[in-house]
Amino acid sequence: MLQPPENKSATQQTSNANTYTPVKGSNTPLEQASIGRSLVIKGEISGSESLYIDGRIEGTINIPEHRITIGRNGAVTADINAREVVIMGKVNGNVICNDRLDIRSEGAVTGDVITPRISVEDGAHLRGSVQVQASEQKKTQPQQAKPAEAPKPAVNEPPKAAAAAAGATLQ
């Protein structure tokens, strides 16, 4: 039943030589940096991983390839540039998203917003201008597929008008 320690190490070495167990990478979507409730940061924040903010930030936040989540206790006085932004706390500053902006019911934004997609829940506060524009990927893909077609400016006008009307009613 039990084998001596010499045999255990020999079987482990042979099994390790024949099999490969991948190491868990740092690119898993659930991993994110966190700024806790009692932290206050003044300055520039940049990085290449998602960020959860429950503290106070003053300055600029630049994480263009990942998500920034402002928690319920988060208070941000900064311009934000990210792929995706979820706001449950308070933000004073301009927000630029490459993918989408989600303002939850307890969230508040005071500043200008530029994003391809936006979601504002009932009860959320939004004061500022909203500019909904196609993402860069959507702009380049049709041009590559059909280079002979001329762009049609009339197609982009209704979303801008809807965004302006939405921004005016949410103030």
Determine, yes or no, domain membership for 56: yes
Residue 110 has a pLDDT of: 97
- Residues of the chain predicted below pLDDT 70: 1-30, 135-171
Determine, yes or no, domain membership for 17: no
Determine, yes or no, domain membership for 97: yes
Q: Which of 108, 109, 119 has its CA nearest to residue 84?
A: 119
Contact between 103 and 126 under an 8 Å Cβ cutoff? The reply is: yes
Q: Provide the number of structural domains found in the chain.
A: 1
Residue 48 has a pLDDT of: 93
Residue 28 has a pLDDT of: 45
Determine, yes or no, domain membership for 134: yes
Residue 31 has a pLDDT of: 82
Determine, yes or no, domain membership for 116: yes
Domain membership of residue 76 as a residue range: 31-147
Determine, yes or no, domain membership for 136: yes
CA distance 57 to 12: 50
